[in-house]
A and B are shown apart, each in its own frame.
Chain A
Amino acid sequence: MLAEALFFSAVLFTIGVVGVLTRRNAIIVFMCVELMLNAVNLSFVAFSQVYGVAGQVFVFFVMTVAAAEAAVGLAIIIALFRHRQTVNLQNINLLKG
């Protein structure tokens, strides 16, 4: 089932990428990133079948980081929304120096 799992993982990851590229709603972009993380997790778990349990341990860490990221990221989005009354990335160009 390794090959199939990797295929699903790749497809999911690509969907996440396309989502990031096409959507402008910050929350949805964020969720697309979560989807990409999940796709990678699937690869890790699939490989843990042939390379040992370390892959699963790694998934554990990825999830932790994802949780932390979600907390901080959503807090940022809230702060942003308070400031600009929108979560549309088109209206946010704070990165411009």
Chain B
Amino acid sequence: MLPASFALLQEAAGVAHPLAGTAARWMWALPLLPLLGFVINGALSIVSAYHAGPADPGAHPHDAHPSVEERHEAHTGHDVTGGGAHGDDHHVVVRHRFAGLATIIGPGVMVLAFGLAVAIFAAMRGAGDAALHTPFVQRYFEWMPVGDLRIDAAFQLDQLSMVMILVITGVGMLIHLFSVGYMQDDPSYPRYFAYLNLFVAFMLVLVMGASYPVMFVGWEGVGLCSYLLIGFWYLDKANADAGKKAFIMNRIGDFGFLVAMFMLYANIGTLEFEGVRAQATALGPSVVTWICLFFFLGCTGKSAQIPLYTWLPDAMAGPTPVSALIHAATMVTAGVYLIARSNFLFSLSPVASLTVVVIGALTAIFAASIGLKQWDIKKVLAYSTVSQLGYMFIGVGSGAYVSGVFHLVTHAFFKALLFLGSGSVIFAMHRAYHATHSAEDAQDMRNMGGLRRYMPWTFWLMLAATLAIAGFPPFAGFFSKDAILGTVFLRARESTLADAHWLGIPGNIILYACYVLGLAAAFMTAVYMTRMLIYTFLGPNRSGERERDFLGEAPWIMTGPLLVLGVLSVAGGWLNLPESIPIGRVGLLEHWLDPVVGESTLRITHGAAVEASSTIEYSLIGAAVLIALAGIVVAWVMLRPERLVPKREARQEEGFERVLANKYYVDEIYDDAVVQPTVGVSRNLLWEGIDQGLIDNVMVKYIGTGVPRLFGWLGSQLQSGQVGTYAWVLVVGVLFVLGAFTIR
């Protein structure tokens, strides 16, 4: 039996793809460039660790005076657990000895990769839409030929991966540039860029893989880099713990990914995207549903959805640019990408799709409500990210794959901007507190306030991003969020999802409910984002008298990328204008992605194109805008920055506020329900019971010493020195040997 992939290979060899011979033939260089950067930066980091001298005080983990590194880093990217004692008073800023080289290589490879990505994009545009109905697959070598299973190391270029490549290399390049400023004084500067480069390499493998296993390599690789970067300042135990938490929760999700792959192989014998797409309809409905649900379990881990979302807020322990790149713009959207990539599977299973929608909607509102009462500026953004990822899942779950990817792209723009902006703020706050040797929390919004006067650029850019995420027209988030909510509403009226039942509830009711939840989450989004903006930039300054003199705008290497992201956040909506708002060419992204997802979208809508009367469409848009405006106004009216006091004087929250500030106690519940029982069973049963009791005592002490002694005694009794005894033993042995042959 020939695997379907083999046929594909023949096809690829026989008929030249329109992209063959264009810049797309260099696509293997896309992940290789950051990988090269990783190798060089990693080598620099290792070399400096071996020659640890005064030039790099922190490159040596076992330095006799780790306090310099630890304290400094604890300031720069503050740990998530809140106030730590920063008694640092003799810190001398010393740049890494290889900082200059790492500065050139780290962002340099990203610039090259982005340039190549643009060139490939141009080639795809040049080839014409009509010619690109099949993806451009490059096979490099046979990776796992095992029996019928044949997995090639192959990359695939199509419209969807192109979008992702542009986002990853583009936003990634900007964040690399930002990092040059943000991390300039870090003792482990080359190590940082090594990890960041490696992350981009793996992320590109993830989106370019031509089969699920290759994608899984990237999937695991970005998880590794995420772990490394969350725990980048590993001398602080909280950071290392946050890294472990992210890693372990992601493994739970990866289990789902693996099971889904196994089921795919068991049922159709191929794991290549094109092969699966061709044979997906041959799968039974329940099999498809299970495969999709297991894939979605992987998504909930990687993309921080209920129930596996708790790692993402803790992941803010990493440097802020990392939060921007990995935990907002790219890696956490891998789950959305996976579902968009597997649209041919999910569109076959209304139940699984409804699950995605419901989980997405619940996560959106749940995380948004937590975001209302967070004080740490990065925590607000983290929960906002979880919430926005929920939106993307509503989109891809309801079969609006284009809208989901559209929101992914715009979210990458404005959330990267928000994170980098908050990075600028933290950078300034930290610098100020550092100058005065204050031990205050540089990330707590209660310690900020009025920063608009000190960093106007950052303020205006953050304002743009806030309006974008709140869904205020004509910023990017308005179009993408509206597209998602509008589609859910339309799907509730007419689609395979609406006809299906989910846990006995009719699909259309669920979709309407999710629409309402989405609107509510949008309202909360507007509220908490406005709150963040007000507390950070408006009102009186609460940083402290002495610190005020040190507040100021970050260097241009940091503000520059912000500016670019600001433009994208404002104008990103033009990528996919709805037909109802024709202020430019409409539906660019929709048209672009049509070869990838068009078929599946039609399958969900019973073969009819998405259409709605303009009355409904305009009322939906109106509702969304009203909700956004209402959120902003409510926040504006209710919040009084004048009343706010610095963190050290703040009162405790009470009632429901407290529940929100403590994130619904989900971490505590998980701790009690999962972690503690596991630890208890491990300690009491596995360790003390089985390991110490059974193995150490019973087996080692009694059996382990008793049985050898018994045999020793028996053996010594046989050693009589009598030849006759030996003859007997020998003959009995011969009997056994002959007996073995006889029985055989």
A interface residue numbers (CB < 8 A to B) = 17, 20-21, 24, 29, 89-90, 92-97
CB distance from B490 to the nearest CB of A (A): 90
Tell me whether B580 is interfacial, beta carbon within 8 Å. no
Q: Which residues of B contact A24 (CB under 8 A)?
A: 724
Q: Which residues of A contact B727 (CB under 8 A)?
A: 20-21, 29
Cα of A4 to Cα of B720 in the assembled complex, Å: 40
CB distance from B720 to the nearest CB of A (A): 6
Q: Which residues of A contact B728 (CB under 8 A)?
A: 21
Given contacts A90-B724, A95-B726, 19 further A-B contacts (CB under 8 A): A17-B731, A20-B727, A20-B731, A21-B727, A21-B731, A24-B724, A29-B723, A89-B723, A89-B724, A90-B722, A92-B722, A92-B723, A93-B720, A93-B721, A94-B721, A95-B722, A96-B720, A97-B719, A97-B721
17 contacts between A and B (CB under 8 A): A20-B731, A21-B727, A21-B731, A24-B724, A29-B727, A89-B722, A89-B723, A90-B724, A92-B722, A92-B723, A93-B721, A94-B721, A95-B722, A95-B723, A95-B726, A96-B719, A97-B721
A96 and B724 in contact, given A17-B731, A21-B731 (Cβ under 8 angstroms): no
> Which B residues, 524 to 579, have Cβ-Cβ distances below 8 Å to chain A?
none
Cα of A92 to Cα of B726 in the assembled complex, Å: 13
Cβ contacts B626-656/A at 8 Å (1 or 0 each): 0000000000000000000000000000000
B722, A93: Cβ atoms under 8 Å? yes
CB distance from A29 to the nearest CB of B (A): 8
CB distance from A8 to the nearest CB of B (A): 19
Of B721, B724, B727, B728, most buried by chain A (CB within 10 Å of CB) is: B724
Cα of A21 to Cα of B735 in the assembled complex, Å: 14
Q: Which residue of B lies closest to A20 (CB)?
A: B727
Q: Which residues of B contact A89 (CB under 8 A)?
A: 722-724
Q: Which residue of B lies closest to A93 (CB)?
A: B721
Q: Which residue of B lies closest to A23 (CB)?
A: B724
CB distance from B695 to the nearest CB of A (A): 35
Cα of A1 to Cα of B731 in the assembled complex, Å: 29
Cβ contacts B723-744/A at 8 Å (1 or 0 each): 1101110010000000000000
Cα of A89 to Cα of B727 in the assembled complex, Å: 12
Cα of A97 to Cα of B715 in the assembled complex, Å: 13
The one of A17, A20, A29, A96 that contacts B721, using a Cβ cutoff of 8 Å: A96
Cα of A20 to Cα of B719 in the assembled complex, Å: 18
CB distance from A26 to the nearest CB of B (A): 8
Q: Which residue of A lies closest to B722 (CB)?
A: A93
CB distance from B212 to the nearest CB of A (A): 62
Cα of A24 to Cα of B723 in the assembled complex, Å: 9
Q: Which residues of B contact A97 (CB under 8 A)?
A: 719, 721
Q: Which residues of B contact A29 (CB under 8 A)?
A: 723, 727
Cα of A97 to Cα of B721 in the assembled complex, Å: 8
CB distance from B726 to the nearest CB of A (A): 7
Q: Which residue of A lies closest to B727 (CB)?
A: A20
Q: Which residues of A contact B722 (CB under 8 A)?
A: 89-90, 92-93, 95
Cα of A24 to Cα of B726 in the assembled complex, Å: 13
Cα of A93 to Cα of B719 in the assembled complex, Å: 10
Pairs A-B, 9 closest by C-beta atoms: A96-B721, A93-B721, A95-B721, A89-B723, A20-B727, A89-B724, A93-B722, A17-B731, A21-B728
Cα of A90 to Cα of B724 in the assembled complex, Å: 8
Q: Which residues of A contact B724 (CB under 8 A)?
A: 21, 24, 89-90
Cα of A57 to Cα of B722 in the assembled complex, Å: 36
Q: Which residues of A contact B726 (CB under 8 A)?
A: 95
Q: Which residue of B lies closest to A24 (CB)?
A: B724
Cα of A26 to Cα of B722 in the assembled complex, Å: 12
Of B720, B723, B726, B728, most buried by chain A (CB within 10 Å of CB) is: B723
CB distance from A49 to the nearest CB of B (A): 24
Q: Which residues of B contact A92 (CB under 8 A)?
A: 721-723
Cα of A20 to Cα of B728 in the assembled complex, Å: 9
Q: Which residues of A contact B719 (CB under 8 A)?
A: 96-97
Q: Which residues of A contact B731 (CB under 8 A)?
A: 17, 20-21
Q: Which residue of A lies closest to B723 (CB)?
A: A89
CB distance from A92 to the nearest CB of B (A): 7
CB distance from A68 to the nearest CB of B (A): 20
Cα of A96 to Cα of B718 in the assembled complex, Å: 10
Q: Which residue of A lies closest to B726 (CB)?
A: A95
Cα of A97 to Cα of B716 in the assembled complex, Å: 10
Q: Which residues of A contact B723 (CB under 8 A)?
A: 29, 89, 92, 95
Q: Which residue of B lies closest to A91 (CB)?
A: B722
Q: Which residues of B contact A94 (CB under 8 A)?
A: 721
Cα of A94 to Cα of B720 in the assembled complex, Å: 9
CB distance from B713 to the nearest CB of A (A): 16
CB distance from B722 to the nearest CB of A (A): 6
> Which B residues, 686 to 723, have Cβ-Cβ distances below 8 Å to chain A?
719-723
Q: Which residues of A contact B721 (CB under 8 A)?
A: 92-97
Q: Which residue of A lies closest to B728 (CB)?
A: A21
CB distance from A89 to the nearest CB of B (A): 5
Q: Which residues of B contact A93 (CB under 8 A)?
A: 720-722
Cα of A17 to Cα of B720 in the assembled complex, Å: 20
CB distance from B706 to the nearest CB of A (A): 24
Q: Which residues of A contact B720 (CB under 8 A)?
A: 93, 96
Cα of A16 to Cα of B722 in the assembled complex, Å: 19
> Which B residues, 291 to 326, have Cβ-Cβ distances below 8 Å to chain A?
none
CB distance from B162 to the nearest CB of A (A): 77
Cα of A93 to Cα of B725 in the assembled complex, Å: 10
Cα of A96 to Cα of B715 in the assembled complex, Å: 12
CB distance from A36 to the nearest CB of B (A): 11
Cα of A92 to Cα of B721 in the assembled complex, Å: 8
CB distance from A52 to the nearest CB of B (A): 25
CB distance from A96 to the nearest CB of B (A): 3
CB distance from A74 to the nearest CB of B (A): 16
CB distance from B736 to the nearest CB of A (A): 14
Q: Which residue of B lies closest to A22 (CB)?
A: B724
Cα of A96 to Cα of B728 in the assembled complex, Å: 16
Cα of A29 to Cα of B724 in the assembled complex, Å: 9
Q: Which residue of B lies closest to A96 (CB)?
A: B721
CB distance from A5 to the nearest CB of B (A): 20
Q: Which residue of A lies closest to B724 (CB)?
A: A89
CB distance from B256 to the nearest CB of A (A): 64
Q: Which residues of B contact A96 (CB under 8 A)?
A: 719-721
CB distance from A35 to the nearest CB of B (A): 14
Cα of A13 to Cα of B345 in the assembled complex, Å: 75
Q: Which residues of B contact A17 (CB under 8 A)?
A: 731
Q: Which residue of A lies closest to B732 (CB)?
A: A21
Q: Which residue of A lies closest to B735 (CB)?
A: A17
CB distance from B50 to the nearest CB of A (A): 56
Cα of A20 to Cα of B731 in the assembled complex, Å: 10
CB distance from A90 to the nearest CB of B (A): 7
CB distance from A13 to the nearest CB of B (A): 11
Cα of A90 to Cα of B731 in the assembled complex, Å: 18
Cα of A93 to Cα of B726 in the assembled complex, Å: 11
Of B719, B722, B726, most buried by chain A (CB within 10 Å of CB) is: B722
CB distance from B733 to the nearest CB of A (A): 12
CB distance from A56 to the nearest CB of B (A): 26
Q: Which residue of B lies closest to A94 (CB)?
A: B721
Q: Which residue of B lies closest to A92 (CB)?
A: B723
CB distance from B205 to the nearest CB of A (A): 66
Cα of A17 to Cα of B727 in the assembled complex, Å: 9
Cα of A29 to Cα of B722 in the assembled complex, Å: 13
Cβ contacts B42-77/A at 8 Å (1 or 0 each): 000000000000000000000000000000000000
Q: Which residue of B lies closest to A32 (CB)?
A: B727
